[in-house]
Structure 1
């Protein structure tokens, strides 16, 4: 689940955007983002153990904020920010799923005069909502198959690509030595951060994990380095083998690279089809993992009265049907009408903000024997730098996306304020009514 929640986003949804910023040093951007994610993972594991030491059930960001600050409003706002980030992530995966679907041979880009991409994106979201309604066993089995398939294909692609670049291609492999000393890779790392959020989904479903205090730390410590290695290898291969595609059609550049590699043995079309199918496995796996864990996350928020009762039944066995449907509807609307850049940027900023806050919280608890100071400090400083650099990048290079993200953030904050301060507002309404009557 941890690996499935990461790889689909990093390779097939954000690779093109990151490459356009960092160029041949894209591999370094993924490594930098992975280091900050690993430090945040350390913080989450430490905070989770402290919560368990206090006799409470384990949890994620919301539980940590409630346990260590006692501020339910702050915990709720963190939770709402994460939920919007998860919706943005799923919308991003669904967008990429559709891009690779219509890139398959024989699949038209338009149907009855209308673009097919939004239709496919909405249908894949609906499909995984239906799968999750069947229950956790079906969801977990599907995730095992999807993750195994995509990792196998991507590793094969990476190994074959490195062999091609070093033995067949006449061009020297570019690793971006000139870009390493610039801000490009750091800025690109901020944009790619959404590709590293999948591991923390495990903390929301600890009730279904045997011995979670041992299993989850192991899963996190394995999943993040494996994801970084896959991202870095595939980034190097794709940039060096399909540089034109990276610039002109970045969302499906991997298919062009796979076609070139497989063309050595006369299987050019087969290579493109295999990597495109792998993209469908990967993005589908990411939607599945994120929806499953976000549903449990929302259920926990319902239990703590941090979401309206209309959002679902917290006493339901498994995932509440209404919650899944609500997440699916909002995700479908996002992926149908949003742009990939705006969706990716908002999701990245959401996770950078929350992950940085959790690292800072872990640093504040550094005096315990559960948490050393160094790793949370690196996570907090790295996330802060990423947040500022990403805002700067959006403002200078993508002004329209910057304003779109600002509007989404303002809308989310306004809704959060109305919900969590509803008691105060309701208290004030009679006075407002009385003043109106006097007038």
Structure 2
């Protein structure tokens, strides 16, 4: 009997990468921006993500070879520098995602255990740092959830979220009704919120890097993507509508990262807060673990094409875990989650995924008409990313200048390092010529 993962496990992995940490991490941030139209922000982001998923699948089909973002860029542009910069950007997006999960892990853990009364402002950063360190240690020991365990974990998270959503919808309908934000002018807030929330729809693309573990990947992966993203959207919509209906804008701003747990209190009292908080801790923890494992293997694979320095990656141990890579990713994640703000981390990660997913959609659009590849989804994906990116930047610059400065400086530093590495030979020659002249 094959040990490779079937469709249910593939869907679980994709859902785990999105719902596992996304809803608990970004809901408060998105709700502060979009209010009762939070559900619309998730729909917009989900449509762009689904079009990107189609684009990944189409590029695999027309090329007749397997691969992910870096492989596609290298294949269709024949430019190692561009492919490498896309790979580095995607890797930094994964680091931002892990930092975001660790931030939420810390907030919910501190709330459940009452640690803020003991440790004060140090409580959240300390717990987040310990979480990252703990999962780095687990990965270095080769610990990873099996397909069966991942199925059970995702099923439990979905049960909690959908159970809360249904109960909250019934409660809200009986106490004043649910607010869908259909009145008044639409404005740009939901679209801006969609840009900020985009990180909540990453994770499904990791299936393309784990093809060897999936049975009949050419069929299973597309099906898993087309099931997982709509299910994630529907879950986010349900939870978004009920949360913004049960909490006032002032309460959402006050509770921030733990708004989802606070929304459960009117329905189930302190039990609701506890259940959601525990689910959040488990979900964000598993998301850190799974993303760290996959990102480490992704980084390790980039060394094969000289996209990352050999010193960063290493040979995996007997359990397939690249020890040095896991450690380095953990260090960067720890620094980001301790010193960054949740808004800044979320925006940084969303920016990275919008760039990469938009690029993949644009490449897929150039292949329209081949092997029945439709040009509509890639076009929607590329244009969606093209619209969301500047809106994200404008919002941060206008309303959160400190966060915008954090994002710009971080991305600029990454860009300089990337360019210096990929153009190192040319830069060395230029330096040699300059030295010879003098």
Shorter-chain TM-score: what band? over 0.9
How far, CA to CA, are the matches of 1:147 and 1:344 in structure 2? Answer: 22
Deviates more, 1:231-240 or 1:109-118: 109-118
Match of 1:391?
393
Residues in 1 aligned to 2:424 and 2:317: alpha-carbon distance in whole angstroms: 26
Q: Say whether 1:80 aligns with 2:92.
A: no
Give the match for residue 336 of structure 1.
Answer: 338
Map 1:44-193 → 2, pairs under 5 A? 44-51=56-63, 53=64, 56=65, 58-104=66-112, 106-109=113-116, 111=118, 115-135=122-142, 138=145, 140=147, 142-167=149-174, 169=175, 171-178=176-183, 181-193=186-198
- After TM superposition, the runs of 4+ consecutive aligned structure 1 residues lying more than 6 A away are none
- Paired with 2:291 and 2:436, the residues of 1 have a C-alpha distance of 48
Residue deviations 1:349-385 (CA, integer Å, cap 9, x gap): 1111111111000000112024211110011111100
Q: Distance in 2 between matches of 1:113 and 1:211?
A: 51
Are 1:258 and 2:272 an aligned pair? no
Q: TM-score, normalised by structure 2?
A: 0.93
Question: 1:238 & 1:419 partners in 2: Cα distance?
Answer: 46
Aligned-pair CA distance for 1:256: 1.5
Does residue 42 of structure 2 align to residue 30 of structure 1? Answer: yes
Match for residue 404 of structure 1 among 395, 403, 406:
406
CA contact (8 A) 2:20 2:154 kept: no
CA contact (8 A) 2:94 2:291 kept: yes
Root-mean-square deviation over aligned CA pairs? 1.7
Q: CA deviation at 1:141?
A: 5.2
Superposition deviation, residue 255 in structure 1: 1.5
The residue aligned with 1:302 is 303
Q: What whole-Å deviation, never above 9, does each CA across 1:162-221 have from its counterpart, x for those lacking one?
A: 110112x1x232100136622111111111111001111111111222211111111101
Distance apart, 1:19 and its partner CA: 0.9
* DSSP-derived class of the 1:366 partner: coil
Superposition deviation, residue 8 in structure 1: 3.3
- The secondary structure found in structure 2 opposite 1:311 is coil
Specify the alignment match of 2:25 in structure 1.
Answer: 13
| Cα shift at 1:154 | 0.3
CA drift of 1:254 comes to: 1.5
Change (3 A) 1:429 1:5: same
In the alignment, what sits opposite 1:313?
Answer: 314
Q: Give the match's secondary structure for 1:309.
A: coil
Distance 1:19 1:322 in 2: 38
Greater displacement, 150-159 / 252-261: 252-261
User: In the alignment, is the contact (CA less than 8 A) between 1:143 and 1:289 conserved in 2?
Assistant: no
SS at match of 2:276: helix
Q: Is the 1:47–1:362 contact (alpha carbons within 8 Å) kept by the matching residues of 2? A: yes
CA contact (8 A) 1:100 1:252 kept: yes
In the alignment, structure 1 segments of 5+ residues that lack a partner are: 263-267
Select between 1-10 and 381-390 the one with higher mean Cα deviation: 1-10
Question: Counterparts of 1:94 and 1:370 in 2: how far apart (Å)?
Answer: 42
Conserved? CA contact 2:67–2:208, under 8 Å: yes
Cα offset, 1:139, TM superposition:
5.5
1:134 to 1:148, Cα distance in 2 relative to 1, 3 A: farther
Check the 8 A contact 1:9/1:194 in 2, yes or no: no
What is the aligned partner in structure 1 of residue 215 from structure 2? 210
Which is worse superposed, 419-428 or 229-238?
419-428
Q: Distance in 1 between matches of 2:407 and 2:433?
A: 36
